[in-house]
Each structure stands twice: as C-alpha cells, then as structure tokens.
C-alpha cells in the first residue's frame, strides 16, 4: 500500500493546512492503521533477532507489513512528516531500546512518542485522550513532572485539533469510562467478587466492540489498564504475564489476584476471534501453557 498517497488524500478531504494539525493527524492515523509487533518480546532481550526487528524500516510508498515497534514507527513517522513538508528528527535512546520523534514547528518543539509505555498505541485504538504528543520545553516538562499538565495550556488546543480530525466525537472514551465506573460502583453487590466479575464483563465487552481495530497485544495492554482503573480502589493485588498457549499458536494473558483467595484468570482469543476473559484453575493453566521451561517458570511464579 502507498501509505503516503493514502494519507495525503485523507488530509485533502479533511482540508488540513496547519502543520501541527497535520502532524497530529499523521500520529493518530498511523496508530489506527498499524499494530504493535509483539514478537519483538519473544526473542532474547538485546539479541540479534530482536535487534533486527528494532532496525526494520517501513517504506511509506510501499507498506508490506502493518506492524511496528518504536524504532520502525519513529523512522516511518519522520519520513511522513518530511514528505508533508514538516521538519522532524528521529531520536534513538540506544541504551533503553527506544525511539521517538521531535517535530519542529515555528519556534516550538513537539515530542511524538506513540509506543512509550504502550500508552498512545492503546489510547488511539480505544478513542482515549492522547498523552505522548505534546510541546516539549524546560518549563512544560517541569509542569508535567509536577502533574500540573492542565497549566500547560495544551489540552484545549489539542481538543480543538481532535475535533477537526473527527477523533474527538463529542466525548473522549475516558469520560465514558468514568461514567461506567460510577454506575458500576453505584450498585450493591453480594460481595466484592461479584463486583470484580462485573468489571471483567464490561472490559471484555469494550475490547470486543473494538475488535476489528485491535489485536491480542493491544487488547491485553488495555485490559490491564482497565483493571487498574476499575479495581485499584479495592486495593487488589494483581500479577500478570503474557505467555504462549501449549500449541504455540496464540498468546494468553495470565492474571492472578490475591484479593481474597488466590484466583487465576485467563485472557485469550476464542476460535471465532473474539476475546474472552474467565477464571481457571491452577491445573488448567499449567496444562494449557507452553511446555518451554521459561514459560512454565513465568506461570509458576505467578500462581505459587
């Protein structure tokens, strides 16, 4: 696919002329079109195969794979920005195996980092507010470090851009989730386990609604984000790990809760491609996990 041509045509339809708006448009659209390459984590950290994936390049005139990691996205994003006449710089933090892009518009410098903490690659898929596309300066970094983001004066400006891009549809998903959380907690439950089950149902439903746009990896990151959002008030202690199933043909997310008794939950795709999330026994999770020693050790550490 000629990605540059596609995005240029979309830019023309939206009648985008401002450089900052175009840059944010490219940021959001690449997050919608592409998925994270989870195989990056299946190889030894720092090994040749992992380095090869890290160094991959995406040809914006002829895209062959719609998966990226931080470096391949950053190189692609830099190329797209320059093709649209916007000054940009690829930045690689070699010691941390991470890369992002600096955008120069007038006298201002913006940072675009779609994969850090996997936040915005998840946020974009679910219509959440973006957090890693912002103006960077000593003063604004200080405000951010002090959790005084609202004083940066960017939220309102970015909201107006998101409206123009149709990313903001009258409400961000964040606000919807706040309303759902209030509704869930307004109900009297027989016990906290019933409340937890209700949260699992709601989160799985949200994931499946967005299923055409996400994969297992993005869904699992969103799942863990939502468990924190909905359940941290209960001070539930959780551990989780992503492992292969026994046939090594798909991933599973094992989540262990020690809120009451030890409870093990499994997040996976069913045969029809839908995501499901349910309670399993120790014996079942051991039996369904990959036989490779390091996989079993990960699971055993969780369920001891």
| 23 contacts 112 by C-beta, under 8 angstroms | yes
Q: Which residues pair with 111 in a beta bridge?
A: 102, 134
Give the C-alpha separation, 244 to 252, whole Å: 6
Closest CA to 217 of 81, 36, 54: 36
pLDDT (tens digit, 9 = 90+) per residue, 224-273?
899 889 988 777 777 888 888 777 778 888 888 776 667 888 888 888 88
Share of the chain residues as helix, strand and coil, in percent rounded to the nearest 5: 55, 20, 30
pLDDT tens per residue across all 304 residues of the chain: 999 999 999 999 999 999 999 999 999 999 999 999 888 877 767 778 888 888 889 999 999 999 999 999 999 999 999 999 999 999 998 666 899 999 999 989 999 999 998 999 999 999 999 989 988 865 555 555 655 555 455 777 888 999 999 999 888 999 999 999 999 999 988 887 788 888 889 999 999 998 888 888 899 899 989 988 998 877 777 788 888 877 777 888 888 877 666 788 888 888 888 998 888 888 888 888 877 766 777 777 777 6
Radius of gyration for the chain, computed over Cα atoms and rounded to the nearest angstrom: 21
Give the C-alpha separation, 116 to 69, whole Å: 10
pLDDT at 171: 87
- Token readout for 277 is 């999330």
pLDDT at 234: 76
Give the C-alpha separation, 196 to 189, whole Å: 10
pLDDT at 28: 97
pLDDT at 8: 96
pLDDT at 149: 55
pLDDT at 147: 59
Closest CA to 90 of 81, 102, 80: 102
The structural domains of the chain, ordered by start, are 3-164 (3.10.620), 173-303 (no CATH)
pLDDT at 137: 66
Site of tokens 């992002």:
100
Q: Whole-prediction pTM value?
A: 0.87
pLDDT at 22: 97
Distances (CA, A) of 300 to 260, 283, 287: 19, 11, 12
pLDDT at 20: 96
C-beta atoms surrounding 73 within 10 Å: 26
- Token readout for 143 is 């405000």
pLDDT at 45: 72
- Chain-centroid distance, C-alpha 91: 20
Closest CA to 171 of 127, 121, 229, 213: 127
pLDDT at 254: 86
Greatest alpha-carbon pair distance for the chain in Å reads 61
Q: Which residues of 226-249 are buried (b: 16+ CB within 10 A; e: fewer)?
A: bbebbbeeeebebebebbbbeeee
CA angle 134, 139, 140 (to 5 degrees): 20
Give the C-alpha separation, 100 to 89, whole Å: 9
- Token readout for 221 is 């990151």
Q: Which residues pair with 103 in a beta bridge?
A: 88, 110
Q: Is 6 exposed, middle or buried (0-12, 13-18, 19+ CB in 10 A)?
A: middle
Give the C-alpha separation, 98 to 280, whole Å: 36
Query: What's the distance, Cα to Cα, between the start and end of the chain in Å?
Result: 48
């Amino acid at each position: 696919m000629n990605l540059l041509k596609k995005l240029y045509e979309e830019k023309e339809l939206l009648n985008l002329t401002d450089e900052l708006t175009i840059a944010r448009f490219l940021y959001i659209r690449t997050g919608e079109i592409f998925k994270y390459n989870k195989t990056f984590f299946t190889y030894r950290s720092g090994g040749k195969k992992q380095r090869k994936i890290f160094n991959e390049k995406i040809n914006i005139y002829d895209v062959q794979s719609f998966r990226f990691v931080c470096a391949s996205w950053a190189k692609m994003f830099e190329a797209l920005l320059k093709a649209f006449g916007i000054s940009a710089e690829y930045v690689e933090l070699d010691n941390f195996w991470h890369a992002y892009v600096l955008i120069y518009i007038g006298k201002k410098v913006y940072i675009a980092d779609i994969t850090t903490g996997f936040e915005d690659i998840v946020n974009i898929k679910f219509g959440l507010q973006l957090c890693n596309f912002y103006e960077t300066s000593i003063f604004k970094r200080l405000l951010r470090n002090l959790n005084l983001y609202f004083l940066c004066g960017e939220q309102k400006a970015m909201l107006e851009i998101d409206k123009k891009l149709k990313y903001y549809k009258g409400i961000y998903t964040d606000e919807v989730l706040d309303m759902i959380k209030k509704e869930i907690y307004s109900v009297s439950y027989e016990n906290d386990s019933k409340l937890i089950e209700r949260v699992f149902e709601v989160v799985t439903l949200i994931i499946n609604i967005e299923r055409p746009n996400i994969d297992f990896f993005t869904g699992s990151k969103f799942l863990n984000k939502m468990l924190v959002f909905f359940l941290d008030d209960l001070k539930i202690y959780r551990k989780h790990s992503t492992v292969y199933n026994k046939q090594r043909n798909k991933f599973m997310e094992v989540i262990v809760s020690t809120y009451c008794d030890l409870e093990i939950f499994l997040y996976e795709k069913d045969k029809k491609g839908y995501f499901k999330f349910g309670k399993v026994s120790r014996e079942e999770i051991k039996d369904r996990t990959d036989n490779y020693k390091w996989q079993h050790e990960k699971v055993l550490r969780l369920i001891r």
